[in-house]
Amino acid sequence: MFWQKDAETMERGEIEKLQLYKLKKLVDYVYTNVPFYRERLDKAGVTADKIKTLSDIKYIPYTTKEDIRDTYPYGLFAQPMKNIVRIHASSGTTGNPTVVGYTKNDLKMWSDCVSRLVVAAGATEEDIVQICFGYGLFTGALGLHYGLEQLGATVIPISSGNTEKQLKMMKDLGTTALVSTPTYAMYIAEVAKEIGIDPRTLKVRLGLFGSEGCSLEMRSKIEEAWNLFATDNYGMSELCGPGVAGECRYRNGMHIAEDHFLPEIIDSVSGDVKERGEWGELVVTTLSKEGIPLLRYRTKDVSCLNYDTCECGRTHVRMEKPKGRSDDMIKIKGVNVFPTQIESVLISIPQVGPHYQIVLKTVNFMDDFEINIELIDGSLLTKYSELENLQKTIRHKLQTVLGLDAKINLLEPKSIERTAGKAKRIIDNRVK
Ligand code: DLL
C-alpha cells in the first residue's frame, strides 16, 4: 500500500532530476528571501547556475543548529509572518530553542510525508490510533496527528503521561495502533501489568514508534510485551518533524521522502562528503519547505544510506537507524561508544530490564563510565553470588562488544526515573 504511489516509486533517474531542479530553485529562493543565506552564498560564490549536477551541492555551505539559534527567532524564515500558519520549537537544554515555522503548503507536505510513512508501516483508515506524544511545541504529536487524520484513521489525541488513563482508553476505545517513543511504549506495558492488564490482550496491533533510538533487541521486547508489529520513523523539528523517513513492512531501513528531502552523508570532522554506503553524519537539504528551508542541514545523527531497491516497491533511499548523534558519541579510553551499542548488550540479558543509564565521569583526567541497570527481580539483590555472576556476565558481554571494561551497578526495579517522552540515557558528570 502506498499513499502517493507515483512519488514513492519514481525511477532513480527521475528522482535525481527532480531533486536537481528543486535544489536550483531553492538556492534562488533562499538567496532572494533570507539575508542570512544571501550572505553565505555570496561568500561561497554559489548561485543556482553553479549547480549543474547534484554533486555540485558540495559548493553550498552547511547550515547548523547554531545558525538557527543565532538568528533566533525568525532569522532563517523565508516568508513574512502573515504566511506562517504554525510554529513549533525544539526545547533544547541550553540557550534559545530552535524555532521553526510552516506555511500552509508546508503543513500539507508534512502531512503527506507522515501519511506515507504510516501507510508504509501498515496503518489504514480502519485504525484507531492513540497518540501518546506530548502535544505542544514538540512536532511528534501534531505531525502524526495530521498525517493519520488525512489517511482517515481515527485519532485519539490523548498526549503523553497519565499512563493508567492511557490504558483505560486503550481498552475502552479499542485502540489498534500506538504512537509513542519506544521507551514510553515499554513503560505503558509495565504499568499495565502492575494494574492487572495483560497488554497482549488489548487490540493494539501496530506501534508507530520514533523520536529516539531503539535497538532491534529493545524493539523485540516491546513487540513481545504488546503482541504488536513495531516500526520506526525518523525526523527532527528543524526538517519538519516526523515524516522525514519511515520504515515499510520490510523494516530494512527507513525510506527518506526524497522528493522533499535531499540526504547526504558526511564526515562530521572534516566535513567531506562520504562515499555511498559509508556511515557518517546525515546532512539534509529541504527541497520543498517554504517557511524555513534549510540548505545542507547538519543533523548530527550518524547513519548510512542504502540505495538498493526495496521489496516494498518504494524507490526512495533508506537510512539506517541512527547509531546515535555525533555529539552523543562518547570517547572512552580512545574507543568510540554509542549508547545504542550498550543498549543492545543489556537488552539481551534476561535478568535486567530495558531501563538503564550511562553515567559519564572523569577519572584521572580521562572520560570513564559506569552503567546503572535495573534488575527485573529485586530479590536478586540479596543473593550475593548470583548478583556477582550477573555483573560478570554483563561486563564480559560489554567487553566483547565495546572492548571496554565498565563498572556495572545493579539496581532495584523502578529506581530509574520513567519518562513519557524521550528517555534520558546519559548522565554526564564529567569535569568540563
Ligand atoms: O523527535 C521528531 C519526531 C517525532 C520524529 C516523532 C519521529 C517521531 P526533535 O525533537 O527535534 O524531533 O528530535 C530530533 O531525535 O536528530 C535524532 O537524534 C532523534 N530521533 C528522531 N527520530 C529518531 C529515530 C523529533 N527514529 C532528534 N531513531 C534527531 C533515532 C531519532 N533517533
Of 118-132, 150-164, 304-318, 408-422, give the lowest mean pLDDT range.
408-422
Residue whose CA lies nearest to ligand 1 atom number 1: 211
The mean pLDDT value for 55-79 works out to 96
Residue whose CA lies nearest to ligand 1 atom number 9: 236
| Cα dihedral 114, 116, 121, 123 sign | positive
Residues 215 and 292 in one domain: yes
Return the ∠ at Cα 1 (arms to 22 and 307), rounded to 5°: 50
Output the domain CATH number for residue 406.
3.30.300.30
Residue 337 reports pLDDT greater than 90:
no
| Per-residue pLDDT tens digits for 154-176 | 999 999 989 999 999 999 999 99
Return the ∠ at Cα 69 (arms to 97 and 39), rounded to 5°: 155
For ligand 1, mutation pick of 99, 236, 321, 340 (most atoms within 8 Å of CB): 236
Cell numbers standing for residue 245: 523517513
| Per-residue pLDDT tens digits for 408-429 | 999 999 999 988 888 888 898 9
Residues 65 and 101 in one domain: yes
The total number of structural domains in the chain stands at 2
| Per-residue pLDDT tens digits for 205-227 | 999 999 998 889 889 999 999 99
Measured in angstroms, how far is the CA atom of residue 140 from the centroid of ligand 1? 8
Residues 288 and 424 in one domain: no
Write down which residue in 273, 301, 325 finishes a domain.
325
Residue 327 reports pLDDT greater than 80:
no
Residue whose CA lies nearest to ligand 1 atom number 6: 140
Measured in angstroms, how far is the CA atom of residue 314 from the centroid of ligand 1? 22
Measured in angstroms, how far is the CA atom of residue 418 from the centroid of ligand 1? 19
For ligand 1, mutation pick of 132, 232, 234, 261 (most atoms within 8 Å of CB): 234
Beta strands in 237-317 (DSSP E): 241-247, 254-256, 261-266, 280-286, 297-303, 305-306
The mean pLDDT value for 66-84 works out to 96
Residues 337 and 365 in one domain: yes
Which pLDDT score is estimated for 203?
A: 98
Which pLDDT score is estimated for 94?
A: 61
Which pLDDT score is estimated for 422?
A: 86
Residues 35 and 141 in one domain: yes
Alpha helices, DSSP H only, in 71-181? 104-121, 139-151, 163-173
Over pLDDT 90: what percentage of the chain? 79
Residues 318 and 352 in one domain: no
Write down which residue in 273, 308, 325 finishes a domain.
325
Residues 339 and 227 in one domain: no
Residues with CB under 6 A from ligand 1: 90, 139-140, 210-213, 232-237, 241-242, 299, 301, 321-322, 325
Domain that holds residue 393: 330-428
Residue 432 reports pLDDT greater than 80:
no
Instruction: Select the more confidently predicted residue: 2 or 432.
Output: 2
Residues 150 and 167 in one domain: yes
How far is CA 224 from its chain centroid? 22
Output the domain CATH number for residue 177.
3.40.50.12780
Cell numbers standing for residue 124: 489504514
Residue 200 reports pLDDT greater than 60:
yes
Residue whose CA lies nearest to ligand 1 atom number 12: 236
Residues 172 and 61 in one domain: yes
Say which amino acid occupies 339: P
Measured in angstroms, how far is the CA atom of residue 223 from the centroid of ligand 1? 20
| Cα dihedral 335, 341, 343, 347 sign | negative
Residue 8's pLDDT band (cuts 50, 70, 90):
very high
Residue whose CA lies nearest to ligand 1 atom number 4: 140
Measured in angstroms, how far is the CA atom of residue 181 from the centroid of ligand 1? 9
Which pLDDT score is estimated for 419?
A: 86
Residue 148's pLDDT band (cuts 50, 70, 90):
very high
Q: Which atom of ligand 1 is nearest to the CA of 98?
A: 11
Which pLDDT score is estimated for 93?
A: 54
Residue whose CA lies nearest to ligand 1 atom number 13: 236
Which pLDDT score is estimated for 72?
A: 95
Residues 291 and 347 in one domain: no
Query: How much is the pTM?
Result: 0.91
| Per-residue pLDDT tens digits for 359-393 | 988 887 778 889 999 999 989 889 899 999 999 99
Residue 48 reports pLDDT greater than 60:
yes
27 — alpha (psi -120 to 50), left (phi > 0) or beta? alpha
Residues 146 and 165 in one domain: yes
Round to whole Å and give the CA distance between 293 and 287: 8
The mean pLDDT value for 323-327 works out to 80
Mean pLDDT, all residues of the chain: 94
Q: Which atom of ligand 1 is nearest to the CA of 241?
A: 2
Residues 285 and 335 in one domain: no
Residue whose CA lies nearest to ligand 1 atom number 21: 211
Which pLDDT score is estimated for 4?
A: 98
Measured in angstroms, how far is the CA atom of residue 253 from the centroid of ligand 1? 15
Residue 335 reports pLDDT greater than 90:
no
Write down which residue in 277, 294, 325 finishes a domain.
325
